[in-house]
Chains A and B, each alone.
Chain A
Amino acid sequence: MNEQVLTVKHLSVQLETNQGKKQLLKDVSFNVPRGEIVAIIGESGSGKSMTAKAILDLLPRGFTPSSSSVYFLNKDVSAMDKRQKRLYRGTQIGFVFQDTYGTFDPMQTIGQHFHELFSAHMKISKQRAKEKTVQLLERVQLTEPERVYDSFPHELSGGMRQRVQLALALALNPVLLIADEPTTALDLRIQADILQLIKDWCKNTGGSVLFITHDLGVVAEIADSVVVMKEGAVVEVAPVDQLFDQPVHEHTKQLLHYYKELTETPKQTGLFDIEPLVTVNHAKKTYIKKKWFQKQMIKAVDDVSFCICKKEIVGLIGESGSGKSTLSRLLLQLENVEQGAIAWKGSLPFRKGIQWVHQDPLASFDPRWNVEKIVGEGLDYWKEKKENKHQQVKEVLQKVGLSENILSYYPHELSGGMRQRVALARALLLEPELLILDEPFASLDMSSQANILSLLKQINQTEKTAILFISHDIRAALALCHRILVMEKGRKIEEAGAKELSDSVNFYTRRLLSSMPVTHPGRRLQKQTTEGEREYAHQNG
């Protein structure tokens, strides 16, 4: 029964550079049995994706894998000839990747992608290919498959593109599906859907899945067994229950610890300091989108009122397109409200008292500036505090847990977590009363997320800074915030303390909550009860 679909034996990968050889993967070994879901977990740079590319024998030039290390159905992949390799990659293995846009040729329709895949491996008429494609698109629960068939990649949303990618991967009924962080860039709800689709496929066809992720929540949700990787080597292989209950390796324990921090059940309740810092009264903002013949009004923010009190962490939760970012732009006065008012009651002037940390820190840095210049820029426009700028920058870097060595670094030399810290330091330098964080975790792996999370808590306590935390990740918000606002389609639909929110009766909030991955594989069964609820919610839009 337990036949091995994929066997990786002592796989190493070397990169030849000008400075000599660099060992990227060291002696990686694991198996993927038939019908099972195996997860590879590790932080960014641990060699997860490299392993996937090595399995497909598609490493970029300059990367040399050790030979005879990958066996597919007991056949040595490196010994295959060109034609066999094409068949192996195309028909035996399907893959889904994180970047939903980059993996499509921007100039071809979705239909053309499918047709090309079919015609590369079989003789098929255009009509037949279309029929098959529409069926496949239906199977991944895309509404209007005909329209998707004729669409270009840029006309679809990220979640839709990921479904299409999944359909492409499953089109030729592969034996093995490789999924490399397929849900990292997506909403939790879409993530839940995609995970369910993969699980269903696995159950119905008996195919195997190799699932690469940095998120233990996803692992708990989907995997049968887990491979933990660190710095290019496998440190632990275990069945999923055993991994969560009795981790062996230090690194696994560390990961579990971070994960616990991220999924901590909220203890705080909101509103302990009732002195408001900023109040928003019936704010409204509409965008007008011009189409061919009609104007479309999009109510980005519709009659939203709330306040943020001093020293409080407020979460703003909603799916993409719910108006979170527009609301933050209104707060920052980057745009003006159409109706209603935003009143500032802090002791500093309006804009000076608010600092913003951007979703993508790298995009908010001038690539030709070093860290000292980036962080210190705020002081340049503030005449009173210009003296000993260097000293102040050093202090604020210390606050966010960075050493002063990085003062002379440029943005591209920093890791994702460091970039987020630098962005935080830049905001904190001016000692704001309110920090606005727009999806601060979107581009980080789990350990960096946990670290930034505890850093934010600490800053909130020591600096008495109020924080507005904007995210689609309800899990992180529950762990961090005192009070949480839930938005849907521009409206505020619920406001509650973090603790109360987990018992919310609001339908939409329940849906968001149910899309959170389980915290432990043992809870999967419990969750099945809410499955029907979600299904129902889907149909009712």
Chain B
Amino acid sequence: MIKFIASRLAEAVIVLFIGSILCFAFIRMLPGDPATAMYGDQLLKMSQADQMRIVENLGLNEPLYTQYAKWLINVLHGEWGHSYTTGEEVKVMVTRAIEPTVVLMLSSTVIILLLSLFFGMVTGLRRYSILDHAVTIASFLFMSLPSFWFALMLMLFFSVYLGVLPTAGIGKEGAGDWLKHLIMPSLVLALAHIGYYIRILRNHIAIIKEKEFVWALQARGVSQRKILFKHLLPNASIPFLSFIGMSLSLTLAGSVVVETLFSWPGLGRLSLKSALAHDYPVIMATILLCMSVVIIGSFLIDLLCAWIDPRLRNQLMKEADK
């Protein structure tokens, strides 16, 4: 077990290292530079010497590998640098943004789990029923509608016409207010992908329902409810769970749009803002953080799957053993 975790950790470090190199290089290939982004037209009016001084202050005159080495050494010392635009410490900015994003992702995952477990199971057991067709149509609808449009429609309906939900920001006046602010963004984030989850669970329930052991259990006189929750669901949930692990990055990518639309002060909005401003240190920090979230998330899902499925458990052990 410890071996398995250690090997996964080592993998994670390698992935993060390679990822950071790629990001570092690609960000600097983008057209435009931080100086222009910061000063705009004013930069052109400055003297050549002033322009050079600004670039030098930002440390951008050195060769790329020196820049990267310096950045890496600083990061390993826990020093992430300061934002080019606000001058604030990157560490502070990012830690402030983590919590809202994690809250948003967790709440949308809970919505996804509740809805897709219910609908996936019901439609898997009763394929081609009226409910199944309705759910299929609805999930394709949500999958194909762009989430920004859907978000705007929700705002129009709940905020403008009904006036029950706030359009933007995070609630700070008590739990009720906080929840009200959370509903729409997490709903949009969840519904954008929920179709995949429902269909995966539906198909696997339908496959496993036909397996001989289900038949054997019936013939042994085990009740339907027990068969469903003790046998069908655990067997069908493995592909479902690993899909959740894989789609973490999808959810994170979706959160950029959702957070921007709802002015949610999370990582997604921060990374978009910093990317527009060529705020190199902030971009690096947010990207690496997103990578770690995905890596940790899928690791947890793997552990969960191994916990449920003994065959997977053995396989993971063996892999770590090599």
Flag B211-232 by CB within 8 Å of A: 1 or 0 each: 1110111111111001000110
Residues of chain A in range 39-97 having any CB-CB distance to chain B below 8 Å: 56, 58, 86-91, 93, 95, 97
Residue in B213, B309, B311 whose beta carbon sits within 8 Å of that of A102 in the complex: B213
27 A-B residue pairs with Cβ-Cβ distance under 8 Å, sorted by A, are: A56-B219, A58-B215, A58-B219, A86-B221, A89-B219, A89-B221, A91-B221, A95-B219, A97-B212, A99-B212, A103-B212, A103-B213, A103-B216, A105-B213, A106-B235, A106-B310, A107-B308, A107-B309, A107-B311, A109-B310, A116-B220, A116-B222, A121-B221, A152-B310, A152-B311, A290-B322, A292-B321
- Answer whether residue B19 sits at the interface, using C-beta atoms and an 8 A cutoff: no
CA distance A87 to B212 in the complex (A): 20
- Answer whether residue A410 sits at the interface, using C-beta atoms and an 8 A cutoff: no
- Answer whether residue A508 sits at the interface, using C-beta atoms and an 8 A cutoff: no
CB-CB under 8 A from B234, the residues of chain A are: 107
Residue in A97, A106, A290 whose beta carbon sits within 8 Å of that of B216 in the complex: A97
- Answer whether residue A240 sits at the interface, using C-beta atoms and an 8 A cutoff: no
CB-CB under 8 A from A88, the residues of chain B are: 221
CA distance A87 to B218 in the complex (A): 11
B311 touches A154 (CB 8 A): yes
Query: Hey, which bits of chain A sit against chain B, CB under 8 A?
Result: 56, 58, 86-91, 93, 95, 97, 99, 102-109, 116-117, 120-121, 152, 154, 168, 290, 292
Residue in A99, A107, A120, A154 whose beta carbon sits within 8 Å of that of B221 in the complex: A120
CA distance A154 to B309 in the complex (A): 12
B221 touches A90 (CB 8 A): yes
Closest residue of chain A to B221, judged by CB? A90
CB-CB under 8 A from A292, the residues of chain B are: 321
Residue in B226, B311, B318, B322 whose beta carbon sits within 8 Å of that of A116 in the complex: B226
A117 touches B222 (CB 8 A): yes
Q: A103-B212, A105-B235 are in contact. Are A58 and B222 (CB under 8 A)?
A: no
Q: A86-B223, A105-B217 are in contact. List 18 more A-B contacts (CB 8 A).
A: A58-B215, A89-B218, A95-B219, A97-B216, A102-B211, A102-B213, A103-B213, A104-B213, A104-B216, A106-B311, A107-B308, A107-B310, A116-B220, A116-B222, A116-B230, A120-B222, A121-B221, A290-B322
Closest residue of chain B to A106, judged by CB? B311
CB-CB under 8 A from B322, the residues of chain A are: 290
CA distance A117 to B221 in the complex (A): 8
Residues of chain B in range 269-319 having any CB-CB distance to chain A below 8 Å: 308-311, 318
* Contact-residue bracket for chain B: 20 to 34
CB-CB under 8 A from B212, the residues of chain A are: 97, 99, 102-103
Query: Hey, which bits of chain B sit against chain A, CB under 8 A?
Result: 211-213, 215-223, 226, 230-231, 234-235, 308-311, 318, 321-322
CB-CB under 8 A from B213, the residues of chain A are: 102-106
The 6 closest A-B pairs by CB, nearest first: A90-B221, A102-B212, A86-B221, A103-B216, A89-B221, A120-B222
CB-CB under 8 A from A116, the residues of chain B are: 217, 220, 222, 226, 230
Closest residue of chain A to B211, judged by CB? A102
CB-CB under 8 A from A104, the residues of chain B are: 213, 216
B219 touches A107 (CB 8 A): no
CA distance A95 to B318 in the complex (A): 36
B320 to chain A, nearest CB (A): 11
Interface on chain A toward B: helix, strand, loop, or mixed SS? mixed
CA distance A117 to B226 in the complex (A): 11
Closest residue of chain A to B210, judged by CB? A60
B178 to chain A, nearest CB (A): 39
Closest residue of chain B to A165, judged by CB? B216
B128 to chain A, nearest CB (A): 11
Residue of B211, B221, B231, B322 most packed against chain A (CB within 10 A): B221
CA distance A107 to B215 in the complex (A): 16
CB-CB under 8 A from A58, the residues of chain B are: 215, 218-219
B317 to chain A, nearest CB (A): 8
CB-CB under 8 A from A56, the residues of chain B are: 219
Residue in A108, A109, A117, A154 whose beta carbon sits within 8 Å of that of B220 in the complex: A117
B237 to chain A, nearest CB (A): 10
CB-CB under 8 A from B310, the residues of chain A are: 106-107, 109, 152
CA distance A99 to B213 in the complex (A): 10
Closest residue of chain B to A120, judged by CB? B222
B217 to chain A, nearest CB (A): 7
CA distance A290 to B318 in the complex (A): 9
CB-CB under 8 A from A89, the residues of chain B are: 218-221
A120 touches B220 (CB 8 A): yes
CB-CB under 8 A from A102, the residues of chain B are: 211-213
CA distance A103 to B211 in the complex (A): 8
Closest residue of chain A to B216, judged by CB? A103
Closest residue of chain A to B313, judged by CB? A152
CB-CB under 8 A from B318, the residues of chain A are: 290
A176 to chain B, nearest CB (A): 12
Q: A107-B234, A107-B310 are in contact. Are A87 and B221 (CB under 8 A)?
A: yes
CA distance A106 to B235 in the complex (A): 8
Residue of B216, B220, B234 most packed against chain A (CB within 10 A): B220
CB-CB under 8 A from A152, the residues of chain B are: 310-311
CB-CB under 8 A from B217, the residues of chain A are: 105, 116
Residue in B220, B309, B321 whose beta carbon sits within 8 Å of that of A90 in the complex: B220
CA distance A99 to B234 in the complex (A): 21
CB-CB under 8 A from A107, the residues of chain B are: 231, 234-235, 308-311
B206 to chain A, nearest CB (A): 12
CB-CB under 8 A from B309, the residues of chain A are: 106-107
B218 touches A168 (CB 8 A): no
A121 to chain B, nearest CB (A): 6
B151 to chain A, nearest CB (A): 40
Residue of B211, B222, B318 most packed against chain A (CB within 10 A): B222
Closest residue of chain B to A60, judged by CB? B210
A113 to chain B, nearest CB (A): 9
CB-CB under 8 A from A87, the residues of chain B are: 221
